[in-house]
A and B are shown apart, each in its own frame.
Chain A
Amino acid sequence: MDCKTAAPMLHAYLDGELDRAAVDEIEEHLERCEQCARELASLQALRNVIREGATRHAAPASLRAQLQAIGAVPEPASGQVSDRILQKRPTNSATVPRWALAASLLMAFSFGIASMKWFAIESVATTNRQAVDRELLSSHLRALAAASPVDVVSTDRHTVKPWFAGKIGQSPPVVDLAADGFPLVGGRIDYVTNQRVAVLVYGHGQHLIDVYLLPATADDLQDMPRVLQGYRLAAIRVQEQPMWIVGDIDEQEFARFKNLLTAGVSR
Protein backbone atom coordinates (compact mmCIF):
# COMPACT_ATOMS: atom_id res chain seq x y z
CA MET A 1 0.00 0.00 0.00
CA ASP A 2 1.26 3.48 -0.82
CA CYS A 3 0.48 6.82 0.81
CA LYS A 4 -2.02 7.76 -1.85
CA THR A 5 -4.16 4.76 -0.96
CA ALA A 6 -3.47 5.01 2.73
CA ALA A 7 -4.25 8.69 3.29
CA PRO A 8 -8.04 8.55 2.84
CA MET A 9 -8.18 5.27 4.73
CA LEU A 10 -6.60 6.80 7.81
CA HIS A 11 -9.97 8.26 8.77
CA ALA A 12 -11.77 4.97 8.46
CA TYR A 13 -8.93 3.34 10.37
CA LEU A 14 -9.19 5.90 13.15
CA ASP A 15 -12.95 5.42 13.23
CA GLY A 16 -12.69 1.65 13.45
CA GLU A 17 -14.55 1.22 10.16
CA LEU A 18 -12.05 -0.95 8.32
CA ASP A 19 -12.24 -4.70 8.03
CA ARG A 20 -9.46 -6.84 9.33
CA ALA A 21 -7.59 -7.27 6.08
CA ALA A 22 -7.53 -3.52 5.51
CA VAL A 23 -6.44 -2.89 9.09
CA ASP A 24 -3.53 -5.26 8.61
CA GLU A 25 -2.52 -3.53 5.40
CA ILE A 26 -2.68 -0.05 6.79
CA GLU A 27 -0.87 -0.98 9.98
CA GLU A 28 1.88 -2.46 7.92
CA HIS A 29 2.07 0.76 5.93
CA LEU A 30 2.07 2.89 9.08
CA GLU A 31 5.03 1.02 10.42
CA ARG A 32 7.04 1.94 7.36
CA CYS A 33 5.72 5.42 6.58
CA GLU A 34 6.51 8.20 8.98
CA GLN A 35 4.44 10.73 7.07
CA CYS A 36 1.23 8.74 7.39
CA ALA A 37 1.96 7.85 10.99
CA ARG A 38 2.28 11.56 11.76
CA GLU A 39 -0.95 12.30 9.95
CA LEU A 40 -2.69 9.64 12.00
CA ALA A 41 -1.26 11.05 15.23
CA SER A 42 -2.49 14.45 14.21
CA LEU A 43 -5.98 13.11 13.48
CA GLN A 44 -5.94 11.32 16.81
CA ALA A 45 -4.95 14.55 18.57
CA LEU A 46 -7.80 16.36 16.81
CA ARG A 47 -10.21 13.68 17.91
CA ASN A 48 -9.03 13.93 21.51
CA VAL A 49 -9.50 17.68 21.42
CA ILE A 50 -13.01 17.42 20.00
CA ARG A 51 -14.06 14.72 22.41
CA GLU A 52 -12.60 16.59 25.32
CA GLY A 53 -13.77 20.05 24.40
CA ALA A 54 -17.07 19.59 22.58
CA THR A 55 -19.91 19.32 25.03
CA ARG A 56 -22.47 16.59 24.73
CA HIS A 57 -25.56 18.50 25.70
CA ALA A 58 -27.92 16.36 27.74
CA ALA A 59 -31.63 16.81 27.25
CA PRO A 60 -33.13 18.89 30.07
CA ALA A 61 -35.30 16.97 32.49
CA SER A 62 -38.24 19.21 31.64
CA LEU A 63 -38.14 18.13 28.00
CA ARG A 64 -37.97 14.46 28.94
CA ALA A 65 -40.89 14.92 31.33
CA GLN A 66 -42.92 16.67 28.64
CA LEU A 67 -42.40 13.89 26.14
CA GLN A 68 -43.05 11.24 28.75
CA ALA A 69 -46.28 12.97 29.72
CA ILE A 70 -47.44 12.71 26.14
CA GLY A 71 -47.13 8.96 26.32
CA ALA A 72 -48.75 8.74 29.74
CA VAL A 73 -52.16 10.14 28.89
CA PRO A 74 -54.60 7.96 30.85
CA GLU A 75 -56.88 5.67 28.82
CA PRO A 76 -58.63 8.09 26.50
CA ALA A 77 -60.68 7.76 23.37
CA SER A 78 -58.25 7.63 20.51
CA GLY A 79 -59.35 10.98 19.14
CA GLN A 80 -58.41 12.73 22.34
CA VAL A 81 -55.02 11.12 22.31
CA SER A 82 -54.21 12.57 18.98
CA ASP A 83 -55.41 15.96 20.17
CA ARG A 84 -53.01 15.73 22.95
CA ILE A 85 -50.07 14.32 21.04
CA LEU A 86 -50.31 16.73 18.23
CA GLN A 87 -50.69 19.69 20.48
CA LYS A 88 -47.88 22.15 20.18
CA ARG A 89 -45.66 23.10 23.05
CA PRO A 90 -47.25 25.79 25.20
CA THR A 91 -44.63 28.26 24.04
CA ASN A 92 -45.85 28.08 20.46
CA SER A 93 -49.39 29.29 20.91
CA ALA A 94 -51.47 28.95 17.78
CA THR A 95 -54.58 30.88 16.92
CA VAL A 96 -57.57 29.07 18.34
CA PRO A 97 -59.92 28.68 15.36
CA ARG A 98 -57.23 27.24 13.12
CA TRP A 99 -56.09 24.96 15.86
CA ALA A 100 -59.59 23.73 16.51
CA LEU A 101 -60.08 22.98 12.85
CA ALA A 102 -56.82 21.09 12.69
CA ALA A 103 -57.69 19.17 15.82
CA SER A 104 -61.07 18.08 14.55
CA LEU A 105 -59.53 16.94 11.29
CA LEU A 106 -56.93 15.00 13.20
CA MET A 107 -59.62 13.50 15.38
CA ALA A 108 -61.52 12.27 12.39
CA PHE A 109 -58.33 10.95 10.88
CA SER A 110 -57.22 9.14 13.99
CA PHE A 111 -60.65 7.52 14.51
CA GLY A 112 -60.32 6.20 11.01
CA ILE A 113 -56.96 4.59 11.49
CA ALA A 114 -57.16 3.73 15.18
CA SER A 115 -58.01 0.10 14.55
CA MET A 116 -55.32 -0.28 11.91
CA LYS A 117 -52.61 0.97 14.22
CA TRP A 118 -52.69 -1.94 16.59
CA PHE A 119 -51.96 -4.33 13.76
CA ALA A 120 -49.28 -2.10 12.34
CA ILE A 121 -47.47 -1.95 15.67
CA GLU A 122 -47.69 -5.64 16.29
CA SER A 123 -46.22 -6.31 12.90
CA VAL A 124 -43.46 -3.74 13.36
CA ALA A 125 -42.43 -5.48 16.57
CA THR A 126 -42.56 -8.90 14.93
CA THR A 127 -40.73 -7.70 11.87
CA ASN A 128 -38.02 -6.17 14.06
CA ARG A 129 -37.55 -9.39 15.91
CA GLN A 130 -37.40 -11.40 12.73
CA ALA A 131 -34.99 -8.93 11.21
CA VAL A 132 -32.71 -9.18 14.24
CA ASP A 133 -32.94 -12.97 14.12
CA ARG A 134 -31.96 -13.00 10.48
CA GLU A 135 -29.10 -10.58 11.03
CA LEU A 136 -27.75 -12.62 13.89
CA LEU A 137 -28.01 -15.85 11.97
CA SER A 138 -26.29 -14.45 8.90
CA SER A 139 -23.56 -13.02 11.12
CA HIS A 140 -23.12 -16.45 12.68
CA LEU A 141 -23.02 -18.16 9.29
CA ARG A 142 -20.59 -15.57 7.94
CA ALA A 143 -18.31 -16.21 10.87
CA LEU A 144 -18.47 -19.97 10.31
CA ALA A 145 -17.63 -19.51 6.64
CA ALA A 146 -14.77 -17.11 7.34
CA ALA A 147 -11.17 -18.22 7.70
CA SER A 148 -11.48 -17.70 11.43
CA PRO A 149 -14.65 -17.18 13.42
CA VAL A 150 -12.82 -14.98 15.91
CA ASP A 151 -10.69 -11.83 15.81
CA VAL A 152 -8.98 -12.61 19.06
CA VAL A 153 -8.15 -16.19 19.85
CA SER A 154 -8.13 -16.91 23.51
CA THR A 155 -9.44 -19.40 25.95
CA ASP A 156 -8.65 -16.94 28.69
CA ARG A 157 -11.33 -14.50 29.62
CA HIS A 158 -8.72 -12.14 31.04
CA THR A 159 -7.39 -11.69 27.52
CA VAL A 160 -10.75 -11.31 25.84
CA LYS A 161 -12.21 -8.69 28.15
CA PRO A 162 -9.49 -6.06 27.74
CA TRP A 163 -9.38 -6.76 24.00
CA PHE A 164 -13.03 -5.73 23.73
CA ALA A 165 -12.50 -2.79 26.03
CA GLY A 166 -9.78 -1.56 23.71
CA LYS A 167 -11.82 -2.08 20.54
CA ILE A 168 -15.31 -0.95 21.41
CA GLY A 169 -14.96 0.59 24.82
CA GLN A 170 -17.16 -2.07 26.29
CA SER A 171 -15.97 -4.91 28.41
CA PRO A 172 -18.50 -7.70 28.23
CA PRO A 173 -19.05 -10.13 31.06
CA VAL A 174 -17.11 -13.24 30.07
CA VAL A 175 -17.90 -16.48 31.85
CA ASP A 176 -15.53 -19.41 31.95
CA LEU A 177 -17.58 -22.49 31.06
CA ALA A 178 -14.70 -24.77 30.05
CA ALA A 179 -15.37 -27.10 32.95
CA ASP A 180 -18.93 -27.55 31.70
CA GLY A 181 -17.85 -28.53 28.20
CA PHE A 182 -18.12 -25.07 26.64
CA PRO A 183 -14.56 -23.72 26.36
CA LEU A 184 -14.13 -20.12 25.28
CA VAL A 185 -12.71 -19.93 21.76
CA GLY A 186 -12.31 -16.18 21.51
CA GLY A 187 -14.14 -13.03 20.57
CA ARG A 188 -14.86 -10.87 17.61
CA ILE A 189 -16.54 -7.62 16.72
CA ASP A 190 -19.45 -7.94 14.37
CA TYR A 191 -21.83 -5.58 12.73
CA VAL A 192 -25.42 -6.31 13.65
CA THR A 193 -28.47 -4.04 13.66
CA ASN A 194 -26.33 -1.26 12.29
CA GLN A 195 -23.86 -1.23 15.10
CA ARG A 196 -20.70 -2.86 16.23
CA VAL A 197 -21.36 -5.51 18.82
CA ALA A 198 -19.15 -7.73 20.88
CA VAL A 199 -19.44 -11.44 20.11
CA LEU A 200 -18.11 -14.11 22.45
CA VAL A 201 -17.45 -17.43 20.79
CA TYR A 202 -17.70 -20.67 22.73
CA GLY A 203 -16.96 -24.15 21.47
CA HIS A 204 -18.82 -27.35 22.16
CA GLY A 205 -17.36 -30.42 20.50
CA GLN A 206 -17.25 -29.51 16.81
CA HIS A 207 -19.84 -26.79 17.25
CA LEU A 208 -19.41 -23.08 17.73
CA ILE A 209 -21.79 -20.97 19.76
CA ASP A 210 -21.91 -17.22 19.32
CA VAL A 211 -23.03 -14.97 22.16
CA TYR A 212 -23.93 -11.47 20.95
CA LEU A 213 -24.00 -8.58 23.35
CA LEU A 214 -26.63 -6.29 21.99
CA PRO A 215 -27.05 -2.76 23.32
CA ALA A 216 -29.40 -2.57 26.25
CA THR A 217 -32.04 -0.67 24.31
CA ALA A 218 -33.13 -3.73 22.35
CA ASP A 219 -36.27 -4.27 24.34
CA ASP A 220 -38.16 -6.72 22.19
CA LEU A 221 -36.37 -9.68 23.67
CA GLN A 222 -38.27 -12.89 23.94
CA ASP A 223 -37.01 -15.57 26.20
CA MET A 224 -38.35 -18.25 23.89
CA PRO A 225 -35.66 -20.06 21.90
CA ARG A 226 -36.36 -20.16 18.19
CA VAL A 227 -35.07 -22.36 15.42
CA LEU A 228 -34.08 -20.77 12.14
CA GLN A 229 -32.64 -22.89 9.32
CA GLY A 230 -31.64 -25.50 11.85
CA TYR A 231 -29.87 -23.01 14.11
CA ARG A 232 -31.15 -22.19 17.55
CA LEU A 233 -31.49 -18.61 18.72
CA ALA A 234 -32.34 -17.47 22.19
CA ALA A 235 -32.23 -14.19 24.01
CA ILE A 236 -31.37 -13.76 27.62
CA ARG A 237 -31.14 -10.67 29.73
CA VAL A 238 -28.65 -10.76 32.54
CA GLN A 239 -28.19 -7.73 34.74
CA GLU A 240 -29.98 -5.58 32.16
CA GLN A 241 -27.56 -6.76 29.48
CA PRO A 242 -29.39 -8.46 26.63
CA MET A 243 -27.47 -11.30 25.02
CA TRP A 244 -28.35 -13.45 22.05
CA ILE A 245 -27.13 -16.99 21.73
CA VAL A 246 -26.83 -18.56 18.29
CA GLY A 247 -25.66 -22.10 17.66
CA ASP A 248 -26.50 -25.42 16.07
CA ILE A 249 -26.25 -27.65 19.12
CA ASP A 250 -29.22 -29.77 20.13
CA GLU A 251 -32.05 -28.52 22.24
CA GLN A 252 -30.93 -29.97 25.57
CA GLU A 253 -27.36 -28.79 25.29
CA PHE A 254 -28.56 -25.42 24.09
CA ALA A 255 -30.79 -25.04 27.13
CA ARG A 256 -27.94 -26.15 29.38
CA PHE A 257 -25.58 -23.59 27.86
CA LYS A 258 -28.19 -20.89 28.22
CA ASN A 259 -28.69 -21.67 31.90
CA LEU A 260 -24.97 -21.89 32.61
CA LEU A 261 -24.38 -18.56 30.95
CA THR A 262 -27.22 -16.89 32.80
CA ALA A 263 -26.05 -18.29 36.12
CA GLY A 264 -22.41 -17.52 35.39
CA VAL A 265 -22.91 -13.93 34.40
CA SER A 266 -25.18 -13.03 37.26
CA ARG A 267 -22.77 -14.56 39.72
Chain B
Amino acid sequence: MNMGRSTPPDVGLVRDLTLPHLDAAYNLARWLMGSEQDAADLVHTAFLRAARYIHTYAGGNAKAWWLSIVRNCCIATLASRSRRDVSLDGLAEDEPAQWPQANAATVEDTVHLSQCAALIVHHLEALPREFREVLVLREVEDCSYREIADILAVPVGTVMSRLARSRALLKKLLIENSVDAGTHGL
Protein backbone atom coordinates (compact mmCIF):
# COMPACT_ATOMS: atom_id res chain seq x y z
CA MET B 1 0.00 0.00 0.00
CA ASN B 2 1.16 3.39 -0.87
CA MET B 3 1.10 5.29 2.38
CA GLY B 4 3.12 8.33 3.19
CA ARG B 5 4.50 8.50 6.67
CA SER B 6 2.55 11.60 7.43
CA THR B 7 -0.74 9.92 6.56
CA PRO B 8 -2.43 8.10 9.39
CA PRO B 9 -2.67 4.46 8.39
CA ASP B 10 -6.41 4.04 8.69
CA VAL B 11 -7.37 7.10 6.68
CA GLY B 12 -4.69 6.38 4.09
CA LEU B 13 -6.07 2.93 3.49
CA VAL B 14 -9.66 4.13 3.43
CA ARG B 15 -8.68 6.80 0.96
CA ASP B 16 -6.88 4.27 -1.25
CA LEU B 17 -9.91 2.03 -1.21
CA THR B 18 -12.62 4.63 -1.68
CA LEU B 19 -11.35 7.64 -3.62
CA PRO B 20 -10.79 5.75 -6.88
CA HIS B 21 -14.53 5.05 -6.73
CA LEU B 22 -15.65 8.44 -5.49
CA ASP B 23 -17.60 9.26 -8.64
CA ALA B 24 -19.33 5.90 -8.46
CA ALA B 25 -20.22 6.54 -4.82
CA TYR B 26 -21.49 10.04 -5.49
CA ASN B 27 -23.45 8.93 -8.52
CA LEU B 28 -25.15 6.13 -6.58
CA ALA B 29 -25.93 8.48 -3.68
CA ARG B 30 -27.23 11.11 -6.08
CA TRP B 31 -29.61 8.63 -7.71
CA LEU B 32 -30.75 7.26 -4.38
CA MET B 33 -31.18 10.60 -2.59
CA GLY B 34 -32.31 12.75 -5.49
CA SER B 35 -30.35 15.84 -4.50
CA GLU B 36 -26.78 16.98 -4.87
CA GLN B 37 -26.43 18.29 -1.33
CA ASP B 38 -27.77 15.06 0.15
CA ALA B 39 -25.51 13.01 -2.07
CA ALA B 40 -22.39 14.89 -0.98
CA ASP B 41 -23.41 14.70 2.70
CA LEU B 42 -24.11 11.00 2.45
CA VAL B 43 -20.83 10.19 0.72
CA HIS B 44 -19.01 12.14 3.39
CA THR B 45 -20.86 10.23 6.11
CA ALA B 46 -20.11 6.98 4.30
CA PHE B 47 -16.42 7.83 4.17
CA LEU B 48 -16.34 8.33 7.93
CA ARG B 49 -18.19 5.10 8.35
CA ALA B 50 -15.73 3.32 6.08
CA ALA B 51 -12.87 4.70 8.21
CA ARG B 52 -14.53 3.44 11.34
CA TYR B 53 -15.33 0.03 9.92
CA ILE B 54 -12.19 -0.46 7.90
CA HIS B 55 -11.66 -3.77 9.68
CA THR B 56 -14.71 -5.15 7.88
CA TYR B 57 -12.84 -4.89 4.60
CA ALA B 58 -11.57 -8.41 4.05
CA GLY B 59 -9.75 -7.84 0.79
CA GLY B 60 -11.40 -8.32 -2.57
CA ASN B 61 -13.49 -5.82 -4.43
CA ALA B 62 -13.04 -2.45 -2.75
CA LYS B 63 -15.62 -0.82 -5.00
CA ALA B 64 -18.37 -3.19 -3.92
CA TRP B 65 -17.41 -2.84 -0.26
CA TRP B 66 -17.42 0.95 -0.48
CA LEU B 67 -20.62 1.25 -2.50
CA SER B 68 -22.42 -1.05 -0.08
CA ILE B 69 -21.48 1.34 2.74
CA VAL B 70 -22.66 4.33 0.71
CA ARG B 71 -25.91 2.59 -0.07
CA ASN B 72 -26.52 1.59 3.54
CA CYS B 73 -25.96 5.17 4.66
CA CYS B 74 -28.40 6.45 2.04
CA ILE B 75 -31.05 3.91 2.92
CA ALA B 76 -30.73 4.59 6.64
CA THR B 77 -31.19 8.31 6.00
CA LEU B 78 -34.11 7.80 3.66
CA ALA B 79 -35.77 5.49 6.15
CA SER B 80 -35.32 7.90 9.02
CA ARG B 81 -36.82 10.70 6.95
CA SER B 82 -39.91 8.97 5.84
CA ARG B 83 -41.91 6.03 6.98
CA ARG B 84 -43.84 6.24 3.78
CA ASP B 85 -40.83 4.83 2.00
CA VAL B 86 -42.38 1.44 1.45
CA SER B 87 -39.85 -1.32 1.18
CA LEU B 88 -40.31 -3.92 -1.50
CA ASP B 89 -37.90 -6.29 0.17
CA GLY B 90 -40.80 -8.35 1.41
CA LEU B 91 -42.09 -9.04 -2.06
CA ALA B 92 -41.30 -12.53 -3.17
CA GLU B 93 -38.97 -12.01 -6.04
CA ASP B 94 -36.76 -15.02 -5.75
CA GLU B 95 -39.41 -17.33 -7.07
CA PRO B 96 -38.46 -18.48 -10.53
CA ALA B 97 -42.03 -17.90 -11.63
CA GLN B 98 -41.51 -14.18 -11.07
CA TRP B 99 -39.67 -13.61 -14.29
CA PRO B 100 -41.39 -10.89 -16.23
CA GLN B 101 -43.18 -12.09 -19.30
CA ALA B 102 -41.37 -11.28 -22.45
CA ASN B 103 -44.42 -9.32 -23.47
CA ALA B 104 -44.07 -9.56 -27.18
CA ALA B 105 -41.60 -6.86 -28.01
CA THR B 106 -42.37 -5.34 -31.36
CA VAL B 107 -40.31 -3.40 -33.79
CA GLU B 108 -42.41 -0.36 -32.91
CA ASP B 109 -41.47 -0.74 -29.26
CA THR B 110 -37.85 -0.59 -30.17
CA VAL B 111 -38.43 2.52 -32.25
CA HIS B 112 -40.34 4.20 -29.42
CA LEU B 113 -37.66 3.31 -26.94
CA SER B 114 -34.95 4.87 -28.98
CA GLN B 115 -36.76 8.20 -28.79
CA CYS B 116 -37.09 8.24 -25.04
CA ALA B 117 -33.70 9.48 -23.92
CA ALA B 118 -35.15 12.76 -22.69
CA LEU B 119 -37.72 11.02 -20.51
CA ILE B 120 -35.39 8.48 -19.02
CA VAL B 121 -34.21 10.50 -16.05
CA HIS B 122 -37.76 11.32 -15.09
CA HIS B 123 -38.87 7.71 -15.24
CA LEU B 124 -35.79 6.31 -13.55
CA GLU B 125 -36.28 8.71 -10.66
CA ALA B 126 -39.90 7.65 -10.43
CA LEU B 127 -39.03 3.95 -10.14
CA PRO B 128 -39.09 2.39 -6.68
CA ARG B 129 -35.65 2.47 -5.13
CA GLU B 130 -35.06 -1.28 -5.46
CA PHE B 131 -35.50 -1.08 -9.21
CA ARG B 132 -33.74 2.22 -9.66
CA GLU B 133 -30.58 1.21 -7.84
CA VAL B 134 -30.10 -2.02 -9.71
CA LEU B 135 -30.46 -0.24 -13.05
CA VAL B 136 -28.12 2.55 -12.04
CA LEU B 137 -25.50 0.07 -10.85
CA ARG B 138 -25.78 -2.02 -14.00
CA GLU B 139 -26.26 0.56 -16.74
CA VAL B 140 -24.66 3.70 -15.36
CA GLU B 141 -21.90 2.21 -13.22
CA ASP B 142 -21.42 -0.86 -15.39
CA CYS B 143 -21.15 -3.15 -12.37
CA SER B 144 -21.11 -6.91 -12.87
CA TYR B 145 -23.87 -9.08 -11.40
CA ARG B 146 -21.43 -10.24 -8.74
CA GLU B 147 -20.59 -6.67 -7.74
CA ILE B 148 -24.25 -5.70 -7.60
CA ALA B 149 -24.98 -8.77 -5.50
CA ASP B 150 -22.24 -7.72 -3.07
CA ILE B 151 -23.42 -4.13 -2.91
CA LEU B 152 -27.05 -5.02 -2.34
CA ALA B 153 -26.20 -8.02 -0.14
CA VAL B 154 -28.48 -10.32 -2.12
CA PRO B 155 -27.80 -13.48 -4.17
CA VAL B 156 -26.82 -13.12 -7.83
CA GLY B 157 -30.10 -14.78 -8.79
CA THR B 158 -31.99 -11.97 -7.11
CA VAL B 159 -29.92 -9.42 -9.01
CA MET B 160 -30.85 -11.12 -12.26
CA SER B 161 -34.57 -11.27 -11.55
CA ARG B 162 -34.66 -7.75 -10.14
CA LEU B 163 -32.83 -6.41 -13.14
CA ALA B 164 -35.25 -8.15 -15.47
CA ARG B 165 -38.24 -6.74 -13.58
CA SER B 166 -36.72 -3.28 -13.52
CA ARG B 167 -36.15 -3.28 -17.24
CA ALA B 168 -39.62 -4.58 -17.95
CA LEU B 169 -41.13 -1.87 -15.75
CA LEU B 170 -39.05 0.92 -17.20
CA LYS B 171 -39.74 -0.25 -20.73
CA LYS B 172 -43.45 -0.26 -20.02
CA LEU B 173 -43.34 3.25 -18.59
CA LEU B 174 -41.37 4.56 -21.52
CA ILE B 175 -43.52 2.96 -24.19
CA GLU B 176 -46.80 4.04 -22.59
CA ASN B 177 -45.51 7.53 -22.16
CA SER B 178 -44.16 7.66 -25.65
CA VAL B 179 -47.51 6.54 -27.06
CA ASP B 180 -49.50 8.93 -24.87
CA ALA B 181 -47.39 11.88 -25.79
CA GLY B 182 -47.49 10.95 -29.46
CA THR B 183 -43.80 11.59 -29.74
CA HIS B 184 -43.13 8.73 -32.10
CA GLY B 185 -42.67 10.28 -35.46
CA LEU B 186 -42.67 7.33 -37.78
Residues of A within 8 A of B (CB): 3, 7-8, 10-12, 15, 17, 35-36, 38-39, 41-43, 45-60, 62-64, 66-68, 70-76, 78, 81, 85-86, 88-89, 91-92, 117-118, 120-121, 124-125, 127-128, 131, 191, 193-196, 217, 219-220
Contacts of A117 in B (CB 8 A): 9-10
Complex formed: what's the CA distance from A63 to B27 in Å?
Answer: 13
Which one, B8, B117, B160, contacts A78 given CB within 8 A? B8
Assuming the A-B contacts A59-B25, A67-B47, are A53 and B15 also in contact, with contact meaning beta carbons closer than 8 angstroms in the complex?
A: no
Contacts of B163 in A (CB 8 A): 11, 15
A-B contact pairs, 8 of them (CB 8 A): A7-B99, A15-B163, A38-B110, A42-B106, A60-B26, A81-B8, A124-B57, A131-B60
| Residue ID in chain B nearest A51 by CB atoms | B139
Cβ of B186 within 8 Å of any chain A Cβ, yes or no, is no
Contact A15 B138 (CB under 8 A): yes
Contact B26 A71 (CB under 8 A): no
Contact A118 B113 (CB under 8 A): no
Contact A48 B114 (CB under 8 A): yes
Per-residue contact bits, chain B 1-45, to A (CB 8 Å; 1 contact, 0 not): 111011111111111101111110111001100001001110111
Assuming the A-B contacts A45-B114, A58-B27, are A8 and B160 also in contact, with contact meaning beta carbons closer than 8 angstroms in the complex?
A: yes
Contacts of A45 in B (CB 8 A): 109-110, 113-114
Complex formed: what's the CA distance from A57 to B8 in Å?
Answer: 30
Contacts of A59 in B (CB 8 A): 22-23, 25-27, 40, 43
Contact B171 A46 (CB under 8 A): yes
Which one, A41, A73, A89, A194, contacts B11 given CB within 8 A? A73
Contacts of A217 in B (CB 8 A): 20-21, 62
Contacts of B69 in A (CB 8 A): none
Assuming the A-B contacts A46-B113, A64-B19, are A54 and B145 also in contact, with contact meaning beta carbons closer than 8 angstroms in the complex?
A: no
Complex formed: what's the CA distance from A21 to B7 in Å?
Answer: 49
Contact A50 B140 (CB under 8 A): yes
Contacts of B110 in A (CB 8 A): 38, 41-42, 45
Assuming the A-B contacts A8-B164, A67-B44, A125-B1, are A42 and B109 also in contact, with contact meaning beta carbons closer than 8 angstroms in the complex?
A: yes
Contacts of B174 in A (CB 8 A): 46, 49
Q: Give me the 6 closest cross-chain CB pairs, A-B, nearest first.
A: A53-B120, A59-B26, A42-B105, A53-B117, A194-B61, A45-B113
Contact B102 A36 (CB under 8 A): yes
Cβ of B75 within 8 Å of any chain A Cβ, yes or no, is no
- 18 more A-B contacts (CB under 8 A) besides A35-B105, A71-B15? A3-B102, A8-B99, A15-B163, A35-B104, A43-B167, A54-B120, A56-B23, A57-B23, A63-B26, A67-B44, A78-B8, A92-B41, A117-B9, A121-B3, A191-B146, A194-B60, A194-B147, A194-B150
